[in-house]
């Protein structure tokens, strides 16, 4: 299996990076910045993006730093299940995009991200976890969640690794725009 990300076969999933959750998170500034970079890169590269929001009525919507960089056709999905995959309609909803690789960022590593990744792997997707765009309230919860996802078969990666895998080479027409995001 070639587990390098490919633009034509990828989808970005942003899990629950919401207003009332972000302030309690470990490394919240880094996560907000990196999730925004991923959102903008997906927009530039025309990669479909799905954003989940855990009970937005109570926890608020996706943070503005991410929201303002999303493409106009980004799909939002409200949920109350910790796993996106366990939410009614989500598995069918995500199949519409016909993508096999899902790169994922969000909160919290040990709850919603972990359970979503587990469900996506069970559904047969190749899941790439963007470690520097995932967080939890406590560092040890973050690390435990990442370890569980990796042990389950998720591909560990970072923002820069993912972006350069998607580009493939410096001759890509969007290379400069993507490079400017990470300078």
Residue 2 covered by a domain:
no
Q: Which entry of 20, 79, 99, 105 is annotated as an active-site residue?
A: 79
Q: In the annotation, is 84 catalytic?
A: no
The CATH number of the domain holding residue 66 is: 3.40.50.850
- Report the chain's mean pLDDT, rounded to a whole number: 95
pLDDT > 90 fraction of the chain, expressed in percent and rounded: 95
Residue reference for tokens 């943070």: 63
Asked whether residue 139 is domain-assigned, the answer is: yes
Residue 16 annotated among the catalytic residues of the structure: yes
- Residues 77 and 87: beta-carbon distance below 8 Å: yes
- Does any domain span residue 1? no
pLDDT computed for residue 113 by the predictor: 97
Report yes or no on whether pTM surpasses 0.95. yes
Note if 105 is an active site residue. no
- What is the tens place of the pLDDT at every residue in 1-17? 568 999 999 999 999 99
What does the pLDDT average to over 47-58?
95
The one catalytic residue among 84, 99, 112, 132: 112
- Confidence (pLDDT) at 126: 97
Q: Does any domain span residue 26?
A: yes
Q: How many domains does the chain have?
A: 1
Q: Tell me how far apart the alpha carbons of residues 71 and 130 are, in angstroms, rounded to a whole number.
A: 20
Q: Which helix (H) or strand (E) holds 131?
A: strand 126-135
Tell me whether residue 18 is in a domain: yes
Residue 32 belongs to some domain of the structure: yes
Give the model confidence (pLDDT) of 97-139 as tens digits: 999 999 999 999 999 999 999 999 999 999 999 999 999 999 9
Instruction: Print the domain residue range for 133.
Output: 7-181
> Which member of 16, 84, 105, 132 is catalytic?
16
């Amino acid at each position: 299996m070639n587990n390098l990300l490919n633009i034509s076969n990828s989808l970005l999933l942003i899990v629950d990076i919401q207003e009332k959750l972000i302030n309690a998170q470990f490394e919240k500034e880094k996560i907000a910045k990196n999730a925004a970079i991923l959102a903008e890169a997906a927009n530039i590269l025309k990669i479909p993006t799905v954003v989940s929001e855990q009970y937005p009525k109570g926890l608020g919507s996706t943070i503005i730093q991410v929201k303002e960089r999303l493409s106009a056709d980004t799909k939002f999905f409200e949920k109350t299940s910790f796993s996106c995959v366990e939410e009614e309609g989500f598995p069918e909803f995500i199949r519409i995009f016909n993508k096999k690789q899902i790169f994922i960022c969000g909160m919290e590593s040990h709850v919603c991200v972990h359970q979503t990744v587990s469900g996506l792997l069970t559904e047969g997707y190749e899941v790439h976890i963007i470690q520097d765009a995932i967080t939890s309230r406590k560092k040890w919860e973050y690390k435990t969640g990442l370890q569980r996802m990796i042990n389950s078969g998720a591909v560990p990666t970072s923002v820069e690794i993912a972006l350069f895998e998607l580009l493939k080479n410096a001759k890509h027409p969007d290379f400069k725009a993507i490079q400017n995001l990470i300078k």
